[in-house]
Structure 1
């Protein structure tokens, strides 16, 4: 296969001149005459106002040269009127702003010649073009901003001089006597001419320096977080907050019933996700989580955190389901505070339920309380009631972590090395103000134990229920009612009782029923 016919005819090569040029993208028409070019250069002159006559093309070129030497970035263009004659009324025609930008263009000149000849009595034209390279342009002045509105005063009837122009001249010359003597003409509502068809303005005030100049969008230099990138994830793996912040282009995929839909959003690759324990719904079928999230398992832990992790695993091996409070109470005050600050340790050893009788409880990986009837002792019971706040405490944090010294940093941290109080236990005799949620295995009141350990066919179910768990409705209501009466009796008296039976009997005698319900 031979070479193409044009391969032997290379393109002509020429050397680029070393001349450095300045190019201007002029926002108007320029004819191929010297007068038109001169008027275009005059419009780039910085001279304005009453000194319009001083503007010239030479002065404009000198101004542009000085502007480039100073590193200026803005050039004003005052387009002349249609007639080309300077008019004082064009004073409020604001200039168009241009930007001085770097450029790497090549400036060429196009020569056109038209050959004419007569052939058989007909005129034949032939055009010939020739391109001449003048040099490279390193700087370009371009006018791409939106032009401002123009205001041209109209001479009022029976007036020798426009009042707006007169006031402008007085202020420009700083004539104090003329300022005192100036009077505004009375406002007239003659907005139409004599024929009543043409509108006119009788504004006698100086217009603002700018009406509505729309600049180019400001470049803030915004850069996306280098560790964030667009990633496509499934709808089921995103939280409610993530779904609200999803991109608008994927809003049609945000269907609550379609967990397999995909959304595209920015994700921070350097952030450890899923730091909270995996939440499982009670009604979900399938196996429970057996290990932590793969990404979370790669997190580097300190020696102290590894020690906490081993202690958490030990407690979960002894008891598969813990409430967060009961698990924290197995540590000292200082250790519990450290665990709260590193909550990802809980996600490394347990998962949790989002609803049902074991809601918010920490469950050991691989253990499913829905398959083991013995897990009924780990069910939670929540009592609603406003506990009286002790006047010497500052809230739940102090009740949880012990008293703090008020003497500043110099005072020792009293109680940090001590064990936390067993606030997760309910014995029916001592009031507990810091919590109103208990697990059945943590209720030690003798009067309540027979109800909790009941095993009759009318007390238990063959399959757990989302409300009552492994207990029947009647058995669960009996447990909850008894615990609630004892609990609220302790809150009302705010002191230890002799026996749980007396607390229940006093509640029944006073008619103080359980006004609280299980928080589903």
Structure 2
């Protein structure tokens, strides 16, 4: 027989799952910091509950309990048995004392606990067993006025780690061995998520053959992603015309969305992770190591210093994309569009870092330098680091691009300076206003300029030019 008393909805409790068998409630509360500390944690939704196994020992790092939102009820069950008649069934009384909506659990990792334990012999006998003693009072002074602690000649040694664990949660990582040929540098490394499919990425070297056909799984992916024949044909036509492309150039020329292009490119080309054609997509079956014309498609990595002056016009790609929906700025006429994959002579680059092909740099000096490279002998192959280009060719190309950017900025600042001077000197004439004779005399007097004023004006122009030159050298150096 059982009996149930009604539920009391006004009583709310907090549950703490203590990781241990409690024999003394007071000592258990002391390990949690006392009633005051428990009340502070319960009053804040973000605080963690500290559990110190030795509250008086400052050398222990606490274990932390996290709050979890769950639902539960607190039951009180009492059993009444008949003392004389053992055959009678017991009577159960169930009372619902209240409910709880949050609980604290200690499921995180616990760091090592360092205790001031020292072994002392039980007797003067050398073979006697040693006794382990907990001597915290010998390591710490009792209070600030404990002068006896500082007068001790011998103090027990306690060796603590320089740094405790920074996290107490478990993270699931996938580890791999670094496959080196000699086996001397086999270290564990994390497998990071790559932007590119590993089946399409190829490491450049002078020995291995490059892929000639796409993976079968990539071809199946075209049907799953609903890529139309027209979109596939547009990208294929571009690779037929030119064997090597950048991703931004394919997006610009094909007018295919980024999601569709990610499925089409692996079926037509592979990707170089390193080498002279780094970050380029190369058509299957094409070997740039054997074709001298592939020098036009080598990687030109240009990075602009993000210093004072240039930040007014050129942003990082992430900042430009974030501000794509904002109003157009006046500097858009001076800077190339963020999706434009080429570098023109009369505009600033689209972002701080531009990865282009050399044929995408529309500067006549650089194109003439590419044409003047002597043709190698028949059967020659490129260099593993510089490709078909001579050493320091990329440095010369960067100097030319920096000089072009300096000239663009120099002309822009000079135009702004002249426009500001004209705007300051120009005085608009009111409608219907007539000049009298006195005004004509004033005009004639103003036109008589002293030589001192001319020297002051020329000095001001020279000072302005020096400031512009110093600014440009800081940007492009």
- TM above 0.5, one fold? no
* Structure ID, larger Rg: 1
Q: TM-score, normalised by structure 1?
A: 0.39
Q: TM-score, normalised by structure 2?
A: 0.42
